[in-house]
């Protein structure tokens, strides 16, 4: 009788344990499934956020580009024309009636001529037409030529690998990155040597802008912050990688690596 009772107790304990285990397993499965679903949901949300940010950035860049176009057109059509007219007027002056002021007039004509050229260069630099028509390399060559004119920098542009045509938008974004980098060098680096290199391999385009300037500390990085952030965002928009290596001995090297197969231009 006692044996039967002991056996009954054992069965009872096993059954109870089993029921508790089943119920706990049920709750655990619910938690597990919920968290799995939650993980997928947050991942999807994150992806949507990235897409949204990219769209936002794209819109910002389009607006910026449009602004550049407007300024460029304004310089070319309005200020440029007025200066040209002023130069023409000065040229038509009769030297006999200038009472020895001819040198001053000539200097004014030269200065106005230079201003017209400078404005023309700025206008071309801002305009995306140059890059749309001639491509990234030509546009960069133009930028290099502009900087060389200043006679402050020894600047080189090196293109290696099998170059491919990228779509106009991608080339424009890359061009703006280089412009931003060059702008930073001119403003902050005190460099004398600038190397721009573009290397095409099978899968990637690697763009480097290197200078021998003073580099920047964390404080300077904040100063350059918006520019650096813009470059990084632009690289991110092309699904690329953006990195900066900067120190006071070797200057600054900015590297952008983008996958080219996504952006090859349709031939």
Q: Which of residues 61-120 bind other proteins (CB under 8 A)?
A: none
Q: How many residues bind other proteins (CB under 8 A)?
A: 21
Is 221 one of the binding residues for other proteins (CB under 8 A)? no
Binding-site member from 15, 56, 111, 152 for other proteins (CB under 8 A)? 15
**Secondary element (H or E) of residue 149:** helix 129-149
Per-position b or e across 132-163, b if 16+ CB within 10 A of its CB:
eeebbbebbebbbebbeeeeebebebeeeeee
Binding-site member from 3, 14, 20, 98 for other proteins (CB under 8 A)? 20
The token pair that represents 246 in the structure block: 């900067």
Compute the least distance from the CB of residue 190 to other proteins, in Å.
Answer: 52
Angstrom distance (rounded) from CA 175 to CA 181? 10
Is 41 one of the binding residues for other proteins (CB under 8 A)? yes
Binding-site member from 3, 14, 31, 228 for other proteins (CB under 8 A)? 31
Nearer to other proteins, 23 or 145 (CB): 23
Using CA atoms in the order 105, 106, 110, 113, what is the torsion angle rounded to 10 degrees? 60
Angstrom distance (rounded) from CA 105 to CA 92? 11
Stretch that binds other proteins, among 37-45, 111-119, 202-210, 217-225 (CB under 8 A): 37-45
Using CA atoms in the order 206, 209, 212, 218, what is the torsion angle rounded to 10 degrees? -100
Is 5 one of the binding residues for other proteins (CB under 8 A)? yes
Is 14 one of the binding residues for other proteins (CB under 8 A)? no
Nearer to other proteins, 34 or 62 (CB): 34
Nearer to other proteins, 7 or 187 (CB): 7
Compute the least distance from the CB of residue 36 to other proteins, in Å.
Answer: 9
Angstrom distance (rounded) from CA 229 to CA 237? 12
Compute the least distance from the CB of residue 41 to other proteins, in Å.
Answer: 5
The token pair that represents 104 in the structure block: 């001053």
Is 48 one of the binding residues for other proteins (CB under 8 A)? no
Q: Cβ distance 97 to 115 under 8 Å?
A: no
Stretch that binds other proteins, among 1-9, 46-54, 60-68, 142-150 (CB under 8 A): 1-9
Give the closest residue to 220 by CA, choosing from 200, 248, 241: 248
Binding-site member from 14, 24, 56, 265 for other proteins (CB under 8 A)? 24
Q: Cβ distance 242 to 228 under 8 Å?
A: no
Which spans of this chain sit near other proteins (rule: CB under 8 A)? 4-5, 8-9, 12, 15-16, 19-20, 23-24, 26-27, 30-31, 33-35, 37-38, 41
């Amino acid at each position: 009788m006692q044996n039967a009772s002991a056996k009954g107790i054992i069965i009872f304990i096993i059954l109870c344990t089993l029921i508790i285990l089943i119920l706990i397993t049920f709750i655990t499965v619910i938690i597990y499934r919920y968290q799995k679903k939650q993980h997928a949901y947050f991942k999807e949300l994150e992806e949507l956020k990235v897409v949204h940010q990219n769209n936002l950035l794209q819109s910002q860049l389009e607006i910026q580009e449009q602004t550049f176009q407007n300024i460029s057109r304004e310089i070319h059509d309005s200020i440029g024309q007025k200066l040209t007219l002023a130069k023409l007027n000065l040229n038509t002056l009769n030297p006999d009636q200038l009472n020895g002021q001819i040198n001053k007039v000539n200097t004014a004509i030269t200065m106005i001529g230079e201003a017209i050229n400078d404005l023309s260069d700025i206008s071309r630099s801002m305009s995306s037409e140059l890059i749309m028509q001639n491509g990234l390399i030509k546009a960069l060559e133009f930028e290099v030529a502009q900087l060389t004119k200043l006679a402050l920098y020894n600047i080189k542009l090196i293109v290696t690998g099998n170059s491919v045509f990228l779509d106009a938008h991608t080339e424009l974004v890359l061009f703006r990155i280089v412009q931003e980098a060059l702008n930073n060098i001119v403003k902050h680096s005190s460099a004398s040597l600038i190397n721009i290199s573009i290397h095409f391999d099978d899968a990637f385009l690697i763009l480097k802008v290197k200078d021998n300037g003073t580099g920047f500390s964390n404080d300077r990085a904040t100063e350059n912050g918006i520019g650096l952030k813009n470059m990084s965002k632009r690289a991110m928009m092309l699904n690329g990688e953006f990195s900066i290596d900067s120190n006071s001995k070797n200057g600054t090297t900015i590297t952008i690596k983008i996958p080219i197969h996504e952006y090859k231009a349709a031939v």
